[in-house]
């Protein structure tokens, strides 16, 4: 019985610690270097937020907002799952408030949806609560719902419109269908990235916000220079020298969990996320605000 008590006590302590860790928000720094970075982006800073899932840090998210403001970003990018995806106006209110707070920092805020936004009623016919959510978020941020825009251009354009003036930097928001999140990664994309956001102009520096980092190779083939992702929550539980334990697809040891990944001149940064859904649980995997400094390589 003594051994059983010890095991139960250890598990209880680990559970308590894992709950506490969900409150220990931190900042993580990366440098994305490439010779393709245009001069106007050299030295600029991106704050990447992902997978907030209606989570609060401090009263009115004061701790989260302080970390973002202290980073002095030149742009803020939200890579999906700002909400848990129900039609509750209370959840919508959380997102609206976060976007308002970020917009008060007087830098562009780009928001691309994840799989949880597409759980909102009406998401697949662009009606009802989803339409309401989309319209209200658009008033508070630059929403890229399978659309793109030029840097700091607050009017997103549909992916099918290719008559826009060529810009040195273009930001795309890729929103994959629900079936894509349920499939095994090895099956690849059902349809290419260009089906959703159009072809990438290689004369531009292309930033792709793609919630699921699993399709890194497809993003690079499309023509992304910088991919910003989340979704995997760092594997929820992280093991020393191994990495993340479990993916949202319930597969063990996902190849891409969080961190910075490179392919030639292309870079992807996958956030470990900020919040959670279902259970407040993280282990050796603190929630993070990701700060990315862009550097033009000679």
Pairing of β 288-296 and β 26-34: parallel
Measured CA to CA, the distance from residue 58 to residue 68 in angstroms comes to 14
Q: Is there a contact between 52 and 81 (Cβ–Cβ < 8 Å)?
A: yes
Mean pLDDT of the chain: 89
pLDDT tens digits along 44-53: 999 999 999 9
Q: Cα 151 to the chain's mean position, in Å?
A: 18
Q: Is there a contact between 207 and 171 (Cβ–Cβ < 8 Å)?
A: yes
pLDDT at residue 5, rounded to an integer: 62
pLDDT tens digits along 227-240: 999 999 999 889 88
pLDDT at residue 152, rounded to an integer: 64
Q: Is there a contact between 91 and 52 (Cβ–Cβ < 8 Å)?
A: no
pLDDT tens digits along 158-192: 554 444 443 579 999 999 988 888 888 877 898 99
Pairing of β 147-150 and β 142-143: unpaired
Q: Give backbone dihedrals phi and psi of 69, rounded to 5 degrees, phi first.
A: -65, -40
* Average pLDDT of span 264-284: 90
In this prediction, residue 13 has a pLDDT band, given cuts at 50, 70 and 90, of low
Measured CA to CA, the distance from residue 101 to residue 13 in angstroms comes to 36
pTM confidence score: 0.91
pLDDT at residue 9, rounded to an integer: 60
Range list of H helices, 30-150: 62-70, 89-103, 128-140
Pairing of β 75-79 and β 109-112: parallel
Pairing of β 243-244 and β 238-239: antiparallel
pLDDT at residue 1, rounded to an integer: 63
In the sheet where 169-174 sits, what is the strand order?
157-158, 147-150, 169-174, 205-210, 226-229, 266-270, 259-263
Task: Please report, rounded to a whole number, the percentage of residues in the chain having pLDDT higher than 90.
Answer: 66
Q: Is there a contact between 34 and 227 (Cβ–Cβ < 8 Å)?
A: no
pLDDT at residue 261, rounded to an integer: 96
pLDDT tens digits along 202-225: 899 999 999 999 999 999 999 999
Q: Is there a contact between 40 and 270 (Cβ–Cβ < 8 Å)?
A: no
Torsion angle defined by CA atoms of residues 199, 109, 164 and 195, in that order, rounded to the nearest 10 degrees:
20
Q: Which of 297, 235, 223 is nearest to 270 (CA)?
A: 235
Report the sign of the C-alpha dihedral through residues 242, 245, 251, 255, in that order.
negative
Q: End-to-end distance of the chain based on CA atoms, in angstroms?
A: 66
Q: Give backbone dihedrals phi and psi of 35, rounded to 5 degrees, phi first.
A: -70, -15
In this prediction, residue 7 has a pLDDT band, given cuts at 50, 70 and 90, of low
pLDDT at residue 165, rounded to an integer: 44
Q: Is there a contact between 242 and 221 (Cβ–Cβ < 8 Å)?
A: no
Q: Is there a contact between 143 and 157 (Cβ–Cβ < 8 Å)?
A: no
Q: Which of 133, 136, 155, 129 is nearest to 144 (CA)?
A: 155
pLDDT tens digits along 88-134: 778 999 999 999 999 999 999 999 999 999 989 888 888 899 999 99
Q: Is there a contact between 219 and 208 (Cβ–Cβ < 8 Å)?
A: yes
Residue-range domains of the chain with CATH: 2-296 (3.60.21.10)
Question: At residue 153, does pLDDT exceed 80?
Answer: no
pLDDT at residue 166, rounded to an integer: 39
pLDDT at residue 90, rounded to an integer: 80
Report the sign of the C-alpha dihedral through residues 49, 53, 55, 61, in that order.
positive
In this prediction, residue 16 has a pLDDT band, given cuts at 50, 70 and 90, of confident
pLDDT at residue 6, rounded to an integer: 57
What does the block give as tokens for 16? 């308590």
């Amino acid at each position: 019985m003594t051994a059983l008590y010890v095991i139960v006590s250890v598990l209880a302590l680990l559970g308590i610690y894992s709950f506490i860790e969900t409150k220990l928000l931190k900042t993580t720094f990366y440098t994305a270097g490439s010779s393709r970075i245009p001069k106007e982006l050299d030295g600029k800073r991106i704050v990447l937020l992902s997978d907030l899932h209606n989570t609060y840090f401090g009263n009115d998210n004061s701790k989260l907002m302080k970390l973002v403001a202290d980073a002095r970003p030149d742009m803020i990018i939200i890579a999906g799952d700002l909400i848990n995806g129900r039609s509750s106006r209370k959840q919508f209110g959380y997102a609206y408030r976060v976007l308002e707070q970020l917009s008060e920092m007087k830098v562009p805020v780009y928001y691309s949806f994840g799989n949880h936004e597409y759980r909102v009623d009406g998401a697949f016919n662009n009606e009802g609560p989803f339409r309401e959510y989309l319209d209200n978020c658009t008033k508070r941020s630059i929403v890229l719902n399978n659309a793109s825009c030029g840097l700091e251009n607050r009017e997103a354009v549909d992916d099918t419109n290719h008559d826009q003036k060529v810009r040195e930097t273009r930001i795309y928001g890729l929103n994959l269908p629900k079936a894509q999140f349920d499939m095994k990664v090895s099956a690849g994309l059902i349809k290419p990235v260009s089906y959703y956001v159009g072809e990438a102009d290689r004369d531009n520096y292309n930033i792709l916000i793609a919630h699921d980092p699993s399709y890194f190779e497809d993003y690079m083939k499309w023509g992304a220079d910088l991919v910003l992702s989340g979704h995997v929550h760092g594997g929820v539980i992280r093991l020393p020298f191994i990495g993340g334990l479990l993916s949202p697809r319930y597969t063990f040891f996902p190849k891409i969990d969080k961190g910075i990944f490179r392919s030639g001149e292309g870079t992807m940064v996958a956030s470990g996320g900020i919040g959670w859904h279902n259970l407040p649980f993280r282990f050796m995997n603190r929630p993070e605000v990701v700060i990315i400094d862009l550097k033009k390589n000679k």
